[in-house]
Structures are given as structure tokens and as C-alpha cells.
Structure 1
């Protein structure tokens, strides 16, 4: 069945068009979708891309699975995500030979001998259709233990463009595109080898730019009020400064994750002015919350890096506004509420973010007058898509390619008819209501997890549908 969205506005040109897509029995729909939708007042944009998600599959699927994580992604307007390697077992390219090791049995029982193979073939192994595209990130160190760098030879074949003649459709669709030990910075003992591996493979290093051995929350008045050991802000700068120097030496592209302090942004700003191949992201929680949120939300606001001071929050917004920040990523980190209730010293770090990221960022950044709607789409869609090695969907180019097709009768509008489009899954689109006011309700999330401090927040702007290839993948139209 074809669905036509009438009079929708293209995000970067302002042109009003009609969009025709195929419905699918696999689509996630929060309510029935009609064949004709009045989309006046809605915006059509390239699908969001998130270069930083944790789906806990394999090994901790009680927190999240590929199915629930991808559903959460589609619900949040994402059409592509990069899955971090802190799975259990770790995504390091090693062959699994001990079925008693945590998480190994579910991989071996599915007929695969490694985590990368398993995740590449997840849909085939489980007989499911996932509503979002995804790439994989390989560990920088074996077992993510920080002691020994992974071996390029053990994971090169999973990269795009490598041995394509012997790859099936799943391997081609879900390649390894980055290296990281996310959750921890690459250790000094193996940093040079990891950078050499990065350079040899042609991938880029995603760096968790923060290291501390003690502490649970940001060091300052709030940590002292809570009586909880603090983490100084220079624990982030130490990794940022170290890696900038290594980039200067090697020319390797390093991408800094979840940057959160004014002093780190200052160093990154200077490095970029020098022309070094450095990119960085921050996350919605660092622009919306300071460490004072710990007093209200408790461990729901505990994360790593920790929420910083109000001055750092303002500096993060400034770094977005002046272009120092290249993109926004969620660092979607599912945990059970029981785990998050263990207290500040024992509770795991992290919050979920895929399903409310756009609304939170739009409320703070666009409604706050710091950036435009167009710039927010760039930060959440086009820039992370390019980082991940993909081409953002160019709506105007697709329209031009169909310029000889029939226009909507009597309206003068052009029609973008994606049915049977040759570009297949390379097309990723999101339909946005940039004006919608809505309340974040974690109980309605598609994620298995509920660990967010944003429950009950009034936010603005909401993704209403995602399109993969020619097909509707998710809808709340």
C-alpha cells in the first residue's frame, strides 16, 4: 500500500512537495496510517544518525536488545546508528571458543563464532526485520581490557570494501566502521599501537575522552553536598590534550565522544584551528542538565563523563553555537531501574536518550535561540552520517532525478515517489513536527530501559515517521 504525505516542506530548500512511500507489514506504527496524510506544517529531512549507542546485545539483553534498541532508534527519528563494542563478550574480532564465557552461548547457539558475525547476521539469526540501519564499532583492545591492542587481521574482513565478493547482504549492510574502547579511554600502554591499527585500517578512533580512578560525580559543591567522591574536570582534558598531541604526530582522525567541559572545548577549538583531523560530539544531557540535577534526579542523572557545572553546561552550548561541536550523539546506555537505584557509588553510569533526544535538543537549542532548526538537523543527521562513512540523503537531488515524473495534478508541486527507488536502503528520511509540544513519558518508550531523568519534561519538536529506502519503518503520523 502506498502512503502519500501531502504538502511537506523540504528541510534545507523550503520547497513543498508530496512524498510517496510504501507501507510495510514490518513497520512500527503507534496508530493506523492512512493512505493520504496532510503533512502541511511538517518537515522532511535526512534521517538522524547516532554514532554512539549501546544495545547490550549479546550478553545483557535484559537491559536492551538489538530489536528493542533499533525500535527505540526508529521511534526517535534515527535511520542509522553505530553500535559500541562493550558487548558481552566484547566486539573485538576474536573467535569464541568457551561456551561457558558470559554471553558466548547465545552467539554460539545461533551458529556464529564471533560477536561481529553474530551482530552482522542478527536479522537472519533471529528471523526479524530491524527498522534501522546500523554499523559496528570494533574494540581497540582485546576484551576491552586495555592490556593488548586488537589485531587488524582479525577484523579487517568486516570492514566496508574488504572482500566484498565473499560477503553476503548482511555483512555488506552492517560493516565495522570505527574503533573504540568506549566506556574507557584507550590506555597509555597500547595507545600507539591502536593509532597504528587505526591508520593501517583507514578507520577512525572514537575516544572516550575521560579517565578517573576514583569518584562518582562531578567534583564541586554538589558532590560535597551529596557526600560523594568527586571527579575533577581535568580528567577529561588530560585525555583530550594527550590525544590531540598524538593526532599532531600521526595524522590519525580522532573523534572525541561526549565532550562536557569548557577547558576541553577550548583545547579542541584550538586544535581544529590548527587544521588537525579532529571531530567531537556532545550529548543532549550535557546541554540540558548540570550537576545540580543530581539533587533532583539522583542516580538517574549519574553518567560518565559526569554532568558538569552550570558554567560547563553553558560552555557546551556555546561550543555548539560556534561550530566547535560537530554533532550530537545520545550515548544511549540502557540499565535497569534496580541497577540505577543502587546508590551513587554502585549504580552504573548512563542514561537512555534515543527517543527524546530531538525534543530535548530542540527545546534547549532552538527554542533557546542558540541555533536554527536547520542547524539542529545538521548536527543530528548530516554530520554524524558523514562521520560514519555514509552519504546523507539529498532530498533535492532525488527530486531533480525525478523531474520528468508526473507532478501532483493542478498544484504545481513536485512529487518524490520512492516506490521501487533504486537507491534502496541508502535512503534514510525523517518526518518532523518542529512545533509539536509533548511530554516525555518513558513508559511509552520502545526501549526496554527507563533510566532517564527526562521523564515528565515538556519538550518541543518530535519525529513523526522514519523512512528506510522506499518503505515506512516507523510512524506516529
Structure 2
């Protein structure tokens, strides 16, 4: 590996509290030193980046992406999805297990994480919480953890059975890993394709109520409380893509009571409402669905007050022919890994006053804590040199046609963005340069 010197950067590292001008030296794929600007002038390095006017931050970490491999490689592959992630400033992503077949064994997990998949950045994965993600029998958590699983989830499906969810939380707690729950009571959402409300009524579509999300969150929190009391364990529940005020209220209260609950918010849920589905726009169809304005504002409030731990994209690529069908037949999900920073800075920073350093924390240090990464997510000397350089002030327009993802299913085509990634460095390698 070549040495790399990044000069004149505005370094933001939430873990250490640094928010100032610095030079940073990368050596052998790790952060070797951080000094005042000009301190390395006598040093001989093979590569130098003048980062004047740019923010230098820990590489972003996304704890919730769908890379579609194996089984659906016409939508995305690990190679294409991670290249798109690098373009968005990400240096680590966590792949969900709803592949074909489901990633529920040591063999499938090992295959996914193998170098032959040609991941452009650091790839992690959560394994299925139950066999085949059918919600009935737990997978082999201990063996999967040894093989590299950073948590367990049936993402795309909830664990509905109380006894199965309780058992999952107990076993994962003993391993120190989270259960990541897709909070949807599917007994209430059959035949539903969007949020319940005036827009659904106008479009003639059956809608999902907010209780379909909040009921599962409240059930899971009750199980946490019960397990702590009965077992003396402290399970970690991570709630995926929270989209409703009611669910966020339950999470906020659980945190105040000291329960180990974390949650993520997706950029589309703090940016758009169900009004984006007018005209039966399938590129705005997702699960959980886009909600009403009151819920959008509740997600933003929860980000501002610290209830939301991290931003996760739920990057869910689908081919054009799959989305270009009748609305109710179209699959749920949108791409999002290249637009997360631009939307977060535009909506959270510029419109709602969230400091840039807090945006960085939501996309780096905080998600690192959720999946227990010890040497990533901060710019500590000795850590892997996972770094993003971005201009927080530049305005630009996202063009889906230029996306590095295989799929272009996004509601943000031609949308304004604030803040652009200039370079992404993964373990000392420059993996993307604008």
C-alpha cells in the first residue's frame, strides 16, 4: 500500500470531538497520524490530496442495505452495490439476508463475505434470525456469529410469534449481538400497498395503518423488559427504518427507561410524504411506506433529539421492468445509497439546523456502535483508514441515469442535493473519486 497524506482538511470526528483544520497521514491502510496543517511538509509520501474546503470524516457505515446477491443479480450485485456505496461516501455496508436463497447458514454467509464477490469496500452481513426467514425456528446464532454475522434479522418480514422473538433476543443477547426487527404486523397489512390516509383514499389503494408498525415495536419493548427482569440479560433490539410518530414515542420512552433499544431512520422517510405516490409512482413505493407530513416531522424531531441513532438507507434496487407495472404489483423499495448524504445535509442540516458533525455521527460513529465495530467509524490513530471527503456546501442535482447501482428505482431523480462526496477511501485505498 502507498502512503497517503490528506492536507488542509476540515476534520470532523464525532468520536473524539475533533472539529477543526488538520492534516491526516495514512500508512499501511491505517490512520498513522493527525497533526496541525503543515506538520508533514518534510515527509515523503506517494500520494497527496489537498482537501482545502472539504470535510474529512470517518467513512460512512450503512447498517441496512440489500445487495441482491445471490439469486437476483439482475437487480444488483455485491460488486455494483458496493461501488455505488463508495460513491455515496460509504466504506462499510451491512447486507440484509433476504437473498435467494436466504442467508441463514454458515455456508451462505461465508460465500457472501468471500473476496470473490469483489466488494469495493468493507462488507458485513446480518444473517437471518429464523430459518428461511419464516419466523418459526431460530438459525444457529453461535455458529453464524463465529462466521462473521454482526446481527440477526428477518428483514422484509417481522418475527411475529412472541415466543420466537423472545428466544431470538435471549440467544443474541448471550452473544452480544443485536436483533434487527422489521416492525410490521403483517396481520394488519395484507393487501396494503401504501400508508393509510387521504392519499390512499384518493388513489383507491388499501393503506397500512401506523399501528401496524407501532404494535410490533411496543411488543418487542415489552419483551426486552420481561427478559431483563426474568433472565438478567440485556438484549439489544434494533428497530429498522422507523417511520411513525407512535413507534418513535415508544422507542423514546424505552430509552428513557434504560432499555437497550436503538433505531434507524431512512432518508426517504425524513424527506418525502405519501404525496409522492400521486400518479401511482412506483419509484416511491416502499415498506414501511412513505407516511403523512406529521410522521415525517416526527422522524426529524426524533433525529434532532437523539431518539434516532443512525441514518440507514434501506438501499433496495429493483430492475425497471419490475417497477413498470400496476402499482399494487410493483415490489417495495428504492435505491438510496448515493443520495443519503445529499438529502441529510439538505433536509436535516440546512432546513432544520442539525450541525454537520451530528450528520456525520449519524452516518459513521453511531452505526459503528450498533454493529460493534471497534476499529472503524472514527478517525482514531490506528484505526482502518476509512475516510470520506465531501464538500458540505455544494449544491447539485442527482441524475439516476448516472447512478453506479445496477438499478435506477429512485424517487429522487433530478432532485436537489446539498453536499457532495469528493473521495472515498477504504482501508487506505481510494475507491471513489468525483
TM-score normalised by the chain length of structure 2? 0.88
Structure 1 counterpart of 2:344: 361
Where 1:362 maps in the other structure, the secondary structure is helix
Matched, 1:264 2:247: yes
Kept in 2: contact 1:21–1:471 (CA 8 A): no
Aligned ranges for residues 133-172 of structure 1 at < 5 Å? 133-152=122-141, 154-158=143-147
Q: Deviations over 1:13-41 (max 9, x none)?
A: 343233455899xxxxxxxxx95543211
Q: Distance in 2 between matches of 1:348 and 1:294?
A: 14
Q: Is the 8 A contact 1:359 1:459 kept in 2?
A: yes
Counterpart residue number, 2:203: 226
Q: What is the CA–CA distance in structure 2 between the aligned matches of 1:184 and 1:394, rounded to whole Å?
A: 32
Residue 323 of structure 2 is aligned to residue 340 of structure 1 = yes
Deviation of 1:144 (Å): 1.0
- Corresponding position: 1:432 with 2:394: no
Say yes or no: does 1:10 pair with 2:3: no
Runs of at least 5 residues in structure 1 that lack an aligned partner in the other structure:
25-33, 95-113, 159-174, 399-421
CA distance in 1, matches of 2:48, 2:123: 30
With 340-349 and 373-382 compared, the bigger mean Cα shift is at 340-349
The SS at the match of 2:364 is helix
2:65 pairs with 1:53: yes
Instruction: Find the residue that maps to 2:150 and give its secondary structure.
Output: strand
1:213 maps to 2:214? no
- Which residue of 160, 168, 173 corresponds with 1:194? 168
Whether the 8 Å contact between 2:365 and 2:378 is mirrored in structure 1 is no
CA contact (8 A) 1:291 1:306 kept: yes
Deviation at 1:209, TM superposition (A): 1.0
Return the alpha-carbon distance in structure 2 between the equivalents of residues 4 and 296 of structure 1: 50
Contact 1:53 1:81 in 2 (8 A): yes
Structure 2: unaligned runs, 5 residues or longer:
30-45, 228-233
Shift of residue 468, structure 1, vs aligned partner: 1.9
1:152 CA displacement: 2.9
Whether the aligned pair in 1 keeps the contact of 2:60 and 2:377 (CA below 8 Å) is: no
**Structure 2 counterparts to residues 172-183 of structure 1, below 5 A:** 175-183=148-156
Is contact 1:57-1:65 (8 Å) kept? yes
Alignment match, 1:448? 406
Alpha-carbon shift at residue 187 of structure 1 (Å): 2.2
Partner of 1:72: 84
Alignment of 1:32-43 (within 5 A): 36-43=48-55
Say if 1:46 and 1:394, in contact at 8 Å, map to a contact too: yes
How far 1:344 moved relative to its partner? 2.0
Tell me the distance in 1 between the aligned counterparts of 2:428 and 2:67: 26
Offset of residue 3 of structure 1 = 5.2
Please name the residue that 1:373 is paired with. 356
Matches of 2:98 and 2:215 in 1, distance apart?
23
Q: Find the aligned partners of 1:336 and 1:131 in 2 and give their Cα distance.
A: 22
Partner SS state of residue 423, structure 2? strand
Shift of the alpha carbon at 1:454?
0.2
Q: How far apart, in 2, do the equivalents of 1:192 and 1:325 lie?
A: 23
CA shift, 1:45, in A, is 0.5
TM-score by length of 1: 0.80
Superposed, 1:287-366 pairs within 5 Å as 287-295=270-278, 298-366=281-349
Matched residues in 2 for 1:249 and 1:3: separation? 51
Equivalent residue, structure 2, for 1:98: none
Equivalent-residue separation in structure 1 for 2:267 and 2:67 (angstroms) = 18
In structure 1, how many angstroms separate the alpha carbons of the residues matched to 2:104 and 2:96?
11
Cα displacement string for residues 108-156 of structure 1 (whole angstroms, at most 9, x for unaligned residues): xxxxxx21121121x2x35x4x321121101111111222221335524
The correspondence of residues 275-294 of structure 1 with structure 2, limited to 5 A, is 275-294=258-277
Aligned residues: 402
User: Would you say the 8 A contact 1:22–1:472 is kept in 2?
Assistant: no
Root mean square deviation of aligned Cα: 2.0
